[in-house]
């Protein structure tokens, strides 16, 4: 090795690849990601910019230092390697889009991405090998080529960032100046209390299973009635929570943030609570409450913004976020994250109360409840508390006794039991304080799992005691605010008044479904399809689709024989009434897992009068053999065990199964099982078949 000093030309040769890699991953990636998703983050641009710049400069220096210690062809190999990795990172992060579903804690089924792993690995190999090929093929020109490529891509990234900085409205997250704190979280009134627990993703079928497994848990809820036929408004929290809080529907008619603002302006609910002497505390995510409502109505709103607990930890979280986007597919499982990692870094301001964190907070809420105990407000106000807990949302981490599962065998059911035990502790403290009779308690969920249509809904009114009751009367979340309003001012007229002890029969209940795409940062929800839900808990499309461009109408369930119902242009949920998970895949290849032990297909094939053939093709079978049973009414069309995804299911559909142009197929997957129960992953969905293609066509016979 020569000790010759590095000249200017050699320094520039080292600088460009080092700068390209460092700038792409440590600066461009975090800054572009922040600006593109600005409304999703509670921290400021400066919180991201300065640490990213420092880490980028430091990493560039380290890469230069390593290069300066090498000589001859080893230095050339080193910079070819840097250049190849930088190109691969840039291509992966900016041009390769792979749908991993929602990063909300639910485990990613990596085994379904075998083909992605192959082509993505080959892509990375090609990117890394390309500079070495250039060195061998163009010995004299390759250094100039590397410099030009690095310089051009750096210039493109700088122009992109400049454009984003110039065109981004950084006031989008100005609502962060007021945040929802934990102030008065554990305080109640000696006079009158209304307490609403929203247990995220707690579906009614989980409660049914819990009470079947442990009927003694009903005894924890003195005076409660459970409404087992309750519908929510939306399938995910972004749509569901604002509706629970305001009773105002969102149909993509305006940007989401404008809807939040107007929703609070258009409801008299919080004025009514204020006029009735209630100290109001909303304990949920900040984005679901308008800035105006925080300032005017809420006792737990804090001025001054949320501070970052640790800049170092924030930078680590951002790099993990960037790594998931920029790393090759085969490395993503090692940097997999849930979007809630940023909530854990919220810190209270000086002399202020801590921010309320709704992410994975079941156990922390319980420990604080036991430690601090409920206490009385210092004045004579009544107390209104809406408390949003993690519920049975993935990942499931708790045993039924509210301890963390060390062997990771917690399930939705064990976590559901933990939630009920947490609520029970709260109720017992109310009894010890002799204010149980003065308290109305509602326990519900923002939505369920799978399609998310049927959340739990349990209620105890003022002064009510007695054995736990179960009612099948159909109600919905649109009844929640009227129920509370009636309890405050009995006898006064409220829109859609109901007596919750009676319920409503033959009522029209609407449900607004969308295929969730992790669009927390988007101005609109994905396209919303409107359903009506009948008293038998059956969903039927109305033919209305609400998009960011306006209302579209369509013929519900209309199916053209021979077309595939799973493709880039066709979402199978428009034909499946139940029993499906979300679509997965990429722009070329899609599949969708069954979810649960049954499902239903509804097709409008008006004009078809002859026998049909149904065809199912699978991309995967989970834990084979899996039995598939297909019925039309009482007639069994198919009943067999399927061992391999190579098996194609073809079954005859007699013409008499088509009633007035409509075909209903009931599917059963009795052997469906969750990966978590088999200790094969964290996925708690009951899986059986991953459908790749489904189509129906005319029989030739």
Does 93 have pLDDT greater than 60?
yes
Give per-residue pLDDT as tens, 358-384: 888 999 999 999 999 999 999 999 999
Task: Specify which residues 639 forms β-bridges with.
Answer: 629
Q: Give the dihedral sign, CA 344/100/397/220.
A: positive
Give per-residue pLDDT as tens, 532-542: 999 988 889 99
- Is pTM beyond 0.85 here? no
Q: Between β-strands 382-389 and 278-283, what pairing exists: parallel, antiparallel or unpaired? A: parallel
pLDDT of 493 reads 47
Structure tokens of 469? Answer: 């009751």
| Strands of the sheet with 590-594, listed across from one edge | 580-585, 590-594, 689-698, 612-621, 649-653
pLDDT classification of 519: cutoffs 50, 70, 90: confident
What gap in Å lies between CA 51 and CA 58, rounded to an integer?
Answer: 10
pLDDT classification of 174: cutoffs 50, 70, 90: low
Contacts of 249 by beta carbon, 8 Å cutoff, 6+ apart = 233, 243, 510, 512
Q: Between β-strands 301-303 and 178-180, what pairing exists: parallel, antiparallel or unpaired? A: antiparallel
Q: What is the mean pLDDT of the chain?
A: 88
417: Cα within 13 Å, side-chain hemisphere: 21
Give per-residue pLDDT as tens, 282-314: 999 999 999 999 999 999 998 876 778 888 888
Task: Locate all alpha helices (DSSP H) within 459-525, ordered by sequence.
Answer: 480-488
What gap in Å lies between CA 92 and CA 324, rounded to an integer?
Answer: 10
pLDDT of 375 reads 97
Given a contact cutoff of 8 angstroms between Cβ atoms, the answer to whether 608 and 598 are in contact is no
Contacts of 16 by beta carbon, 8 Å cutoff, 6+ apart = 146, 147, 150, 151, 154
For residue 431, cis peptide bond before it (omega within 30 degrees of 0): no
What gap in Å lies between CA 66 and CA 63, rounded to an integer?
Answer: 5
Give per-residue pLDDT as tens, 590-624: 889 998 899 999 999 877 768 899 999 999 999 99
Distances 102 to 92, 388, 527, 587 between C-alpha atoms, Å: 19, 20, 17, 17
Given a contact cutoff of 8 angstroms between Cβ atoms, the answer to whether 539 and 235 are in contact is no
Q: Which of 156-165, 504-513, 646-655 has the lowest mean pLDDT?
A: 504-513
Provide, rounded to the nearest whole percent, the portion of the chain with pLDDT above 70.
92
pLDDT of 244 reads 98
With CA atoms as reference, report the closest residue to 689 among 578, 562, 581, 577.
581
With CA atoms as reference, report the closest residue to 586 among 117, 105, 91, 238.
117
What gap in Å lies between CA 484 and CA 482, rounded to an integer?
Answer: 5
Provide, rounded to the nearest whole percent, the portion of the chain with pLDDT above 90.
59
Higher pLDDT, residue 678 or 89: 89
pLDDT of 508 reads 80
Structure tokens of 358? Answer: 């709704």
pLDDT of 505 reads 46
pLDDT classification of 588: cutoffs 50, 70, 90: low
Higher pLDDT, residue 334 or 170: 334
Q: Over the Cα atoms of the chain, what is R_g?
A: 28
pLDDT classification of 496: cutoffs 50, 70, 90: very low
């Amino acid at each position: 090795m020569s000790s010759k000093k590095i000249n200017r030309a050699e320094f520039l040769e080292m600088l460009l690849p080092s700068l390209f890699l460092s700038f792409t991953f440590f600066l461009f990636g975090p800054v572009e990601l922040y600006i593109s998703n600005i409304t999703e983050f509670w921290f400021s641009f400066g919180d991201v910019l300065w640490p990213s710049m420092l880490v980028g400069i430091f990493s560039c220096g380290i890469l230069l230092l390593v290069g300066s210690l090498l000589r001859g062809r080893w230095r050339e190999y080193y910079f070819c390697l840097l250049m190849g990795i930088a190109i691969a990172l840039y291509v992966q992060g900016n041009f390769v889009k792979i749908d991993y579903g929602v990063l909300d804690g639910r485990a990613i089924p990596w085994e379904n991405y075998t083909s992605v792993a192959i082509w993505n690995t080959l892509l990375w190999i090609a990117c890394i090998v390309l500079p070495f090929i250039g060195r061998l093929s163009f010995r004299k020109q390759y250094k100039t080529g590397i410099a030009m490529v690095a310089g051009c891509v750096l210039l493109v990234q700088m122009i992109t960032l400049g454009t984003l900085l110039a065109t981004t409205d950084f006031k989008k997250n100005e609502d962060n100046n007021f945040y929802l704190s934990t102030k008065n979280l554990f305080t109640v009134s000696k006079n009158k209390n209304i307490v609403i627990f929203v247990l995220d993703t707690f579906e009614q079928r989980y409660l049914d299973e819990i009470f079947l497994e442990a009927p003694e848990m009903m005894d924890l809820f003195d005076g409660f009635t459970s409404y087992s036929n309750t519908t929510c408004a939306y399938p995910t929290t972004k749509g569901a929570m604002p509706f629970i809080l305001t009773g105002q529907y969102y149909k993509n008619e305006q940007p989401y943030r404008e809807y939040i603002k107007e929703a609070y302006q258009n409801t008299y609910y919080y004025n009514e609570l204020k006029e009735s002497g209630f100290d109001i505390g909303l304990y949920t995510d900040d984005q679901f409450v308008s800035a105006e409502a925080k300032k005017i109505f809420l006792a737990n709103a804090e001025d001054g913004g949320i501070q970052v607990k640790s800049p170092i930890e924030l930078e680590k979280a951002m790099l993990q976020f960037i790594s998931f986007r920029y790393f090759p597919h085969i490395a993503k499982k090692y940097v997999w994250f849930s979007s809630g990692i940023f909530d854990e870094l919220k810190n209270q301001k000086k002399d202020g109360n801590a921010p309320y964190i709704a992410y994975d907070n079941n156990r922390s809420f319980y420990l604080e409840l036991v430690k601090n105990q409920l206490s009385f407000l210092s004045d004579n106000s009544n107390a209104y508390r809406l408390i949003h807990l993690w519920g049975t949302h993935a990942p499931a981490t708790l045993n039924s006794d509210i301890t963390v599962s060390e062997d990771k065998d917690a399930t939705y059911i064990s976590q559901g039991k933990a939630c009920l035990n947490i609520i029970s502790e709260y109720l017992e403290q109310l009894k010890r304080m002799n204010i149980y009779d003065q308290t109305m308690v509602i326990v519900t969920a923002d939505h369920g799992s799978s399609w998310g249509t049927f959340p739990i809904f349990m209620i105890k009114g003022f002064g009510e005691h007695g054995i736990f009751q179960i009612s099948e009367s159909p109600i919905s979340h649109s009844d929640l605010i009227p129920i509370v309003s009636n309890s405050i001012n009995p006898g006064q007229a409220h829109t859609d008044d109901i007596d919750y002890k009676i319920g409503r029969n033959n009522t029209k209940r609407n449900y607004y479904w969308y295929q969730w795409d992790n669009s927390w940062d988007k101005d609109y929800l994905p396209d919303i399809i409107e359903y009506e839900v009948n008293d038998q808990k059956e969903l039927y499309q109305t033919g209305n689709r609400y998009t960011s461009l306006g209302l579209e109408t369509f013929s519900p369930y209309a199916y053209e024989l021979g077309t595939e119902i799973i493709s880039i242009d066709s979402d199978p949920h428009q034909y499946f009434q139940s029993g499906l998970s979300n679509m997965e895949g990429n722009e070329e290849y899609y599949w969708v897992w069954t979810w649960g032990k049954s499902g239903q297909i509804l097709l409008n094939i008006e004009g078809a009068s002859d026998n049909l053939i149904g065809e199912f093709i699978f991309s995967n079978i989970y834990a084979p053999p899996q039995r598939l049973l297909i019925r039309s009414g009482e007639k069994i069309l198919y009943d067999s065990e399927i061992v391999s995804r190579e098996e194609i299911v073809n079954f005859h559909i007699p013409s008499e199964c088509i009633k007035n142009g409509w075909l209903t197929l009931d599917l059963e997957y009795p052997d469906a099982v969750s990966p978590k129960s088999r200790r094969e992953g964290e996925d708690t969905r009951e899986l059986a078949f991953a459908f790749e293609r489904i189509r129906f066509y005319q029989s030739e016979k």
